[in-house]
Amino acid sequence: MGKAQFDQHSEDQMLKTENKKMVDSPKAFDAISIPMGIFFTVFFSVVYYLLIRWREKIRNSTPLHVTNMSEMAAIITFCASCIYLLGFFGMNFVQATPFTETEEEDEVEEETTPCGASVIRESDIVSVKEVMKKEVETAIVAIDTVVSEEDEEVIQAVVSGRTPSYSLESKLGDCKRAAFIRRVALERITGKSLEGLPLEGLDYESILGQCCEMPVGYVQIPVGIAGPLLLDGMEFSVPMATTEGCLVASTNRGCKAIYVSGGATSVLLKDGMTRAPVVRFATAKRAADLKFFLEEPLNFGTLASVFNKSSRFGRLQTIRCAIAGKNLYIRFTCSTGDAMGMNMVSKGVQNVLEYLQADFPDMDVIGISGNYCSDKKPAAVNWIEGRGKSVVCEAVIPEEVVKKVLKTDVASLVELNMLKNLTGSAMAGALGGFNAHASNIVSAVYLATGQDPAQNVESSHCITMMEAVNGGKDLHVSVTMPSIEVGTVGGGTQLASQSACLNLLGVKGANRECAGGNARQLAKVVAGSVLAGELSLMSAIAAGQLVKSHMKYNRSSKDVSAKP
């Protein structure tokens, strides 16, 4: 062997020896012996987090720069992990000499550490790389499956304006998918997250065309139960949907006081929904001519026949008119069965207006509603004439119940009611607001049973009366509500949750034995619940318990600080 060959062979042996020492060294082994399970858990968690954040920013058209400490920490951890991986897997490539395939296999198979542990082989490195690749691919697939390619195309079309958001249901034929796509598109357009607004759990088919357009989710409102309410000899568990603490508890106490006193009694005074169109003539005289024609008793039968053709349940009851110059406001009142009846009465009014056009061709119909109805606004006409169901509900509460359950006395309640609900409301110029908080109970029951919550305005018209009876020992309490607008069919009453609450009250759907019976019963339950609520709140105020009870039931110690 020549000198040159000897020197080359010696150099090769030295490099192999150094490489073996480097691998076999206990210190080197200890330096890289961090538990791989922990390392890869941290590494892939950071990678997944960064992918999620970058994906959200790309979707929201937000710059990819670092915006908070968590992202900065994730990037630092990612860089440190890359450096560690480079040192871990690149060590042999930097310091080891190249081998032929045969020599490398023999060398690796023979090497062991001084402590007898096997040296990390290249096959192990390849295996780890494969695991890393699969983990990253899994993370990316998990992100991509959130929005499919097919949905992504539709979302882009909505964001760009090529596809109107309102047309998604008809184009896709899938109401839930339409809600999801609209939701994602809205997040991208506004740059705001809708996290926390539920999407799953609602039958979007059931709201199509009757409850809500362009849905992106639904709002959760807790439902509590007050009762049993003993009303007209029957017990009712009253569902109340509310976010106000103490309301259900207060109403429940009133129900208890009524129950142990023998129950409450209710009477339905009127039942008729109204609609009042406004028409205009060239002169006030012509408007007066139509007024006289409509109010003539001999013409009522013909008008009722025309009106009643619109529905099996809609039956015209009265027509009242009011003139303002050459403008005529015509207030139609009709029964509507178990429906709240706004659409029903509107169709009947349309029929009558078309009929009148023949005899009054100069009549100009300005609007199907002229606010003389009056819907969803406080109005004296509803307070005086009534709208929907007019109900009065009363109960006599014995002196001992007032003291033990309501924690006050009869004289204090009577005085407080006079000065607060009657005199105080008069001083404020209240219109139908001669009560403590009727609106609270009406709104809660309306939301739970699928009524139109905006009609809480006139439905909460209520006057609460309290009087000492039986020699001043007992309390007579009553609520008179002239315009409770409720129905048990149509609208939100057909949704699953609201239907369940109606079923709890025994008034779900249409009454097969007596048309309108379920809606009338629901109106009585509303009035009875208001009676219980008035009784309890007035007692709490009289006893000085209002603030204390609200601090107990309407304040939470839970940390609800807003998250960034």
Which letter, b or e, does each residue of 34-66 get, where b requires 16 or more Cβ atoms within 10 Å of its Cβ?
Answer: eeeeeeeeebbebbbbeeebeeebebeeeeeee
Q: How many other CB atoms are found less than 10 A from the CB of residue 407?
A: 14
Distance CA 365, CA 263 (A): 50
Residue 426: how many other CB atoms lie within 10 Å:
11
Q: Which residue(s) pair with 478 in the sheet?
A: 394, 465
Backbone angles phi and psi of 482, in degrees to 5: -85, -10
452 classed as catalytic: yes
- For 506, half-sphere exposure in the C-beta direction (CA atoms, 13 angstrom radius) is 8
The answer to whether 376 is a known catalytic residue is: yes
Which one of the listed residues 326, 452, 467, 476 is annotated catalytic?
452
- Two structure tokens written together for 137: 């691919």
Task: Write down the H helix ranges in 96-174.
Answer: 101-110, 122-144, 149-160, 168-172
Give the single-character DSSP code of 100.
-
Tell me the helix, strand and coil percentages in the chain, rounded to 5.
Answer: 55, 15, 30
Candidates 20, 407, 476, 550; catalytic one: 550
Write the CB contacts of 32 (distance below 8 Å, at least 6 apart in sequence): 87, 88, 91
The C-alpha torsion from 399 through 401 and 404 to 406, rounded to 10°, is -100
Q: Catalytic residue, from 107, 244, 289, 394: name it.
A: 244
* Dist CA 454 CA 340 (whole Å): 13
Sign of CA dihedral 498, 501, 503, 506: negative
Residue 483's φ and ψ, nearest 5 degrees, are: -145, 65
Residue type present at position 158: V
Catalytic residue (one of 176, 376, 407, 420): 376
Radius of gyration of the chain (CA): 38
Q: Please give the DSSP secondary-structure letter assigned to residue 118.
A: B
Q: Is 134 designated active site? A: no
Token pair of 138, please? Answer: 């899994």
Catalytic site positions = 244, 376, 452, 550
